[in-house]
Amino acid sequence: MNDKVIYIVLISLICWMPTYSQSAADNIVIITLDGMRWQEIFNGADSAILFNKAFTRDIEGVKSRFWDSSSVARREKLFPFLWHIVARQGQLYGNRNKNSFVDVSNPYHFSYPGYNEIFTGYPDTAVASNDKIVNKNSNVLTYLNKQIGYQNKVAVFSTWDAFPYILNKWESHIYVNADADSIANSGTENHILNDIQRLSSKPLDVRLDVLTYIAAREYVKVNTPKVLCIGFDETDDYAHKGDYEQYLKSANAIDGMIADLWHCLQSMPAYRGKTTLLITCDHGRGDKDKANWTDHGDEIPESSQIWIAALGPEISNMGEMENSGQLYQKQLAASIARLVGFSFIPERGTAETISSFFKPEKNIHAAFVGLTR
């Protein structure tokens, strides 16, 4: 068979198959739980920490809410939406006890390098602090904001006030609402939210995660963004304080917020059946010595260990992944773009996606993407 015949066959196959963008979801929601350990995601409350008075003051109260002798029951108590909905309809990666490994690629194991890796697809060693320095690396959200149909349809809401710098909102021109930023939508409800945000005591020195969430939800109702990112922060803050009770309560509350958002999206025609949900974290925490669960960084190797959950029309229904090999945080950027039908290539490194996200026909079609775009 000569080259001309091969070319004709390839073109025929491409014409026969749906285009990359037609088979993708229209929208994507990316949610991060800062510093949330995989151990609680897959096993629920950790007995070595929960029953330690140094970390849990109200042991009986926390035990009544989150404890069970079964790890399956414990994780369902802590993350009911994750395990009753995502695990049954989507995929979860990162249970190292079942040979599913997810790690950061950056050597630092803390927040700014982690978020940089998530959104740029590249573990830049020059991003080596949490200082509010404008990120020079291009990111997938900025890329999507330039695509036809997605312009001015990308929005980010975060509790941590470094997000505008991580995503360089001044050059990217994406909407980033962080920490003390007011909620721009008009209406009595938003004026009340702004007052609560302005007048609250801020026990963690940033706005409450629930205010970040409500700001995002109300923005969705008015502006219907096609790409939404919500960055929650309380899990990391309470872990650093060694407050396991509040760490668990915050994690459970965030699960409830994600459930509320998912139900809200499914009630709206613009999102129902057309939206992918991606949930992950920026870094892990210590585990080898239970006393170091509060911390993370390059001196704590276990804090490179993270997890990923995904749900949506393009996500194969495979549940909790076992024997899934090694994945890396840097694969998320290209995967985010592909889930809505685009090809994002990092400035440095490769554009490797998480191929097991996609249904078999999508993987076959991926071989022809370079010829069709």
Tokens of 12: 């025929």
* Single pTM value for the model: 0.90
Q: Which CATH class is domain 3-372?
A: alpha beta
Helix, strand, coil percentages, rounded to 5, for the chain: 45, 10, 45
The reported pLDDT for the residue numbered 2 is: 53
Buried residues in 206-236 as b, exposed as e (16+ CB within 10 A): bbbbbbbbbbbbbbbeeebbbbbbbbbbbbb
Nearest-CA neighbor of 245 among 79, 33, 65, 69? 65
Buried residues in 270-297 as b, exposed as e (16+ CB within 10 A): ebeebbbbbbbbbbbbbbeeeeebbbbe
Per-residue pLDDT tens listing for the chain (373 residues): 555 444 343 433 333 333 344 458 999 999 999 999 999 999 999 999 999 999 999 999 999 999 999 999 999 999 999 999 999 999 999 999 999 999 999 999 999 999 999 999 999 999 999 999 999 999 999 999 999 999 999 999 999 999 999 999 999 999 999 987 777 655 556 778 788 888 888 888 889 999 999 999 999 999 999 999 999 999 999 999 999 999 999 999 999 999 999 999 999 999 999 999 999 999 999 997 888 999 999 999 999 999 999 999 989 999 999 999 999 999 999 999 999 999 999 998 788 999 999 977 544 334 333 333 3
The reported pLDDT for the residue numbered 22 is: 43
The reported pLDDT for the residue numbered 188 is: 54
CB 123 within 8 A of CB 104: yes
Distance CA 39, CA 36 (A): 9
Q: For strand 319-320 and strand 100-103, is the pairing parallel, antiparallel, or unpaired? A: unpaired
The reported pLDDT for the residue numbered 223 is: 94
The reported pLDDT for the residue numbered 369 is: 37
Residue 233's alpha-carbon distances to 143, 174, 179, 206, 302, in angstroms, are: 25, 21, 10, 9, 20
User: Which residues touch 248 (CB under 8 Å, ≥6 apart)?
Assistant: 40, 45, 50, 62, 65, 66, 78
- Three-class SS state of 1: coil
The full set of domain ranges for the chain reads 3-372
Distance CA 330, CA 345 (A): 11
Q: Would the CA dihedral through 56, 57, 61, 63 be positive or negative?
A: positive
Distance CA 47, CA 28 (A): 35
CB 63 within 8 A of CB 287: no
The reported pLDDT for the residue numbered 94 is: 98
The reported pLDDT for the residue numbered 76 is: 98
The reported pLDDT for the residue numbered 202 is: 85
